[in-house]
Amino acid sequence: MKEEERAVVVKKLVIVIPAYNEEEVFPETVKEITEILEGMISSNKVSADSKILFVNDGSKDNTWNLIINEQKNNELVTGINFSRNFGHQNALVAGLVTASKDADMMITIDADLQDDVNAIEKMVDQYYAGFDVVYGVRDNRDTDTAFKRSTALTFYGIMKKLGVDMVPNHADYRLMSQRAVLEFLKFKEENLFIRGIVPLVGFPSTKVYYARKERFAGESKYPLKKMLKFAWDGISSFSVVPIRAIMTLGVAVVIVAVGILVYAVLEHARGNTAQGWSSLMISLWFLGGVQLIGISVIGEYIGKIFNEVKHRPRFTIQDDTYTKVDK
């Protein structure tokens, strides 16, 4: 292809990076991503107006100031600043909403350099090869603790059983074409589980494999409690099968009922029980347990319906240097 022809087809890339209290890692992240993007711009792989878009998710540290300062000398960097912490998934959506106004392709990547930045170029190659979605897939879990590995495996297993078409070992490191993002943004559900929704969008998709590293600096913003909530959101937003899990939980309650039975028999042998006490206690505990669990699971779904009907805004943007720069 001739030089000018190529210049016409070169597309705009925006790299969306959610950041929550990432001041320790920010300087290195911005340096590495800038190098990659500069390289792709100078080799004419992406257009010269391609950008890096940081979404500061209500960081309590200096992250936003670092972004602002970086912009003074780095014209590739833009930023969105949330008024408070809205969470990783909403930060990603905000970045995609903003960038999809004019970007041809968007890549979402974590701020902590766990995802190999060298996969960015490979993803862009796949975009030009005609794919709308390119999933970054980790080819090992060596850097994870055995605990995280096994919980992740269980989680993917459950999701698969529930019939959710998820890409295993893929988090939120992916490229999406503009049309894929615009379609994705039509999913208005409040309980947002992006990696479950993206495959529902359809369009041609492929995978790029990479080795996931240790976090470059700082701590994980997904402690166990948040991780479990995230997994549960994923499961309960996509399937009603957990209601059937009452049966399994019912079995657990039956085991408790058996414990009560043993206790009741012992008490009976000691002559401490009145006629009918044992059967009464066992059925009372058994039915009570089953009913309580049933009510709580149904309550979870009612809670979700409650959230959906509210249609609250997903985020409130306080500053937006991305849009200003382009005006």
To ligand UDP, the closest distance from the beta carbon of 314 in angstroms equals 13
Q: Encoding tokens for residue 24?
A: 């320790």
Angle between helices 224-238 and 146-161 (to 10 degrees): 10
To ligand UDP, the closest distance from the beta carbon of 99 in angstroms equals 16
* Residue type at 211 in one-letter notation: A
Does residue 177 touch Mg ion according to CB under 5 A? no
Does residue 78 touch ligand UDP according to CB under 6 A? no
Does residue 136 touch ligand UDP according to CB under 6 A? no
With vertex at residue 57, the alpha carbon angle to CA 52 and CA 62, rounded to the nearest 5 degrees, is 85
88 binds, among ligand UDP, Mg ion, none (CB under 5 to 8 A by kind): ligand UDP
Q: Are strands 51-56 and 77-82 parallel, antiparallel or unpaired?
A: parallel
Does residue 118 touch ligand UDP according to CB under 6 A? no
Torsion over CA: 251, 253, 254, 256 (sign): positive
Cβ atoms 50, 13 nearer than 8 A:
yes
Q: If DSSP codes are grouped into helix, strand and coil, which group holds residue 207? A: strand
Phi, psi torsion values for 208, nearest 5 degrees: -125, 130
Does residue 221 touch ligand UDP according to CB under 6 A? yes
Does residue 170 touch ligand UDP according to CB under 6 A? no
Choose the binding region for ligand UDP from 17-25, 64-72, 120-128, 298-306 (rule: CB under 6 A). 17-25
Q: Residue 131 or residue 193: which is nearer to ligand UDP going by CB?
A: 193
Q: Residue 214 or residue 326: which is nearer to ligand UDP going by CB?
A: 214
To ligand UDP, the closest distance from the beta carbon of 237 in angstroms equals 18
Q: Residue 209 or residue 216: which is nearer to Mg ion going by CB?
A: 216
Cβ-based burial of 171 (10 A; exposed 0-12, middle 13-18, buried ≥19): buried
Look up residue 46 and give its DSSP letter: B
| 94: CB partners within 8 A, 6+ apart | 55, 80, 82, 86, 314, 315, 317
One residue of 70, 112, 115, 116 binding Mg ion per CB under 5 A? 112
Number of residues that bind ligand UDP (CB under 6 A): 17
Does residue 114 touch Mg ion according to CB under 5 A? yes
Cβ atoms 119, 32 nearer than 8 A:
no
Binding mask 65-104 for Mg ion (x = CB under 5 A): ----------------------------------------
* Residue type at 76 in one-letter notation: L
Binding positions for ligand UDP, rule: CB under 6 A? 18-20, 22, 57, 85, 87-88, 91, 110-112, 114, 215, 220-222
Binding site for Mg ion (CB under 5 A): 110, 112, 114
